[in-house]
Amino acid sequence: MTTRETLRDKWTVDLECPRCGRLDVARLSQADGYAYVRGDTATRADHVPAGFACIDPETSSFQCSKCQVLIP
């Protein structure tokens, strides 16, 4: 028996802390196709690099864990 995973649109977000200069890349995704039509519109943070925290994946809001500064 195989399970079918929902296809997802995937993209990256470049992260740079304006205070300490820490750089990295986060990966986000959102359901594609029929799942999206059914109402699965939630954006998911698939990878948040060490040193950053995801505040709200829907708006791609991140903050530097060291400086506690929001990433613009």
Residue 70 inside a domain? The answer is no
Three-state SS across the chain? Answer: CCCCCCCEEEEEEEEECCCCCCEEEEEEEEECCHHHHCCCCCEEEEECCCCEEEEEHHHCEEEECCCCCECC
- pTM of the entire structure? 0.79
Residue 47 inside a domain? The answer is yes
Give residue 33's domain range. 8-64
Residue 18 inside a domain? The answer is yes
The arithmetic mean of pLDDT across residues 1-7, rounded, is 58
6, 46 contact by CB (below 8 A): no
Residue 39 inside a domain? The answer is yes
Number of domains in the chain: 1
Residue 69 inside a domain? The answer is no
Question: Which pLDDT does position 5 carry in this prediction?
Answer: 61
Across the chain, mean pLDDT equals: 87
